Every structure is written in structure tokens, then in C-alpha cells.
Amino acid sequence: MKTKYKDLTIWITGASSGIGEALALEFAKRGARIILSGRNNDKLEAVKKRCKHSDKHIVVPFDIADADQVKQAYQAVTAQAGKIDWLINNAGVSQRSLIMDTTEEVERQLMEIDYFAQTRLSRLVLPDMIAQNGGKIVMISSIAGLLGSQYRGAYGAAKAAIHMWANSLRAELHDQGIEVATVFPGFIQTNVSINALTGDGSAQGTMDDATNKGLTATAFAKQVRKALMKGEEYIIIGGQKEKLAMMVNRLSPPKLYKLIRESQVK
């Protein structure tokens, strides 16, 4: 039976801006009930007001890197929503620093936010999904998790890790009605590069040219929504450069990395 948007309750982390906000607006427009989470309550409330049928949506702010706050948020969501059909793990932070300039502390911070925080929340939600005989876990990875490049060493590693974890989860829980999808964004017009961590843990504070010229968050969200509703599990969304890179990687990884070495990727 085809899933109807109006029957879906979708929890989206990192929903206060960027692709999380765009996904919330896109699914709300189709009739789904959205649980919006992030650290900034005021920004989440502003996104909620922009969502169609704003009264039906729920705001639950928390810091995804804080294990205690995650548990409290989960309890608040289940108390207010009653069920979670889909969890879209979108919260995260990027990186713009060379490996030799990046401290181990920053690498651990990236792994904590982009990997451990995502698996922690998913494990909290999964028992309820299994009990209700169905649910969907969506991981927002990155093309950087498929193709390593300069300035994104730890970020790419964390996004690759979440991709592999999702593959294992899909294999383990498929027979229990759990769907697992991984989305691999390329360059999307958001503040991701502005907020990206540098080698000492400070934010870069500037917009990358490639990010500025990427797909709009709205266009990205529309493609993701269509792919998820069709049941796709491996969703790569990017511009022509990213698509070309993926094609070259399939044909000749050494040639791709020669191109990456010679390119300006920051």
C-alpha cells in the first residue's frame, strides 16, 4: 500500500536552517506532520510558522551532541507525537581544514556530531518503529563520504562511517519492516561552509564558491522527497561536477583522484 503524506510523522534534526529547513517545508507542504529539532528554539519556531498547516507541527529543541538532551528530546517527541514514522538524521557539521592542520580533538568532535550522535538517536527511535511494524531511518551523508578530497578528511570519514552503518542496519532490520535510506548531497546552497570547523575548531565563517553555486536547498529537498517516497535507498543529489566525479570514480578511481589533486576543492 502506498504511503500517504498525511499519515506520516517525520522527525527532522538540524531543521532550523539549510537542507533540514527545506525538507521540513517540502514534506509539510505535502501534508506530513513534522517534528522540528535543532539547538535554536526561536529559529525552529520560525521554520514551523513557514510550514503549511503550522499548528500540526511540533518543535523540540536540543543539542544532538549531548546524550542526556537526546534522551529527553526523544521522550518529549514520543509524548507529544505518539509515534515516529520517519527519522531524518540531518544535523551535522562540516570541515574545512587540511589533515595536518587539524587537531585530534576537532576530528573527534566531527565524528561525535556526524556519526555517534546520529547512531545514538536512531537506536532510541528504532525499538518503537519495530514495535509498530514499520519505519524509515534516513541518514544524510555526503558525496564527501564517497569521494575523499582535500580539507574534508575527518568529515568525509564520518560521513563514510554513517553510510556503512546504515548499510548494516538495512541488512539487519529489513525483515522487521525497517527501511533505511542514505542521502548523499553534493554542493547545496546552505551555510554549511560558513559553519564548517577549521583545524582549531573555530568556524570558517565564509562561503565556499562551490557551495554558493550549488543546488538550492529547495531543489534538493524536492528531489529527496520524491526519492524517499519511491522507496529509494541510495540517493545521490548534486550538480554536474558531482555527477561527473561519480561517473569517473566508477570507471577509474585513480583518474578521479588525479583530478581531485589538481583541482581547487575548498
- The residues carrying an active-site annotation are 155
In angstroms, what CA-CA distances link 16 with 50, 160, 254?
A: 11, 24, 39
211 φ/ψ angles, rounded to the nearest 5 degrees: -65, -40
Q: Is the dihedral of CA 45, 21, 113, 106 positive or negative?
A: negative
In this structure, is the dihedral angle defined by the CA atoms of residues 23, 25, 29 and 33, taken in order, positive or negative? Answer: positive
Residue 97 and residue 153: Cα distance in Å, rounded?
A: 8
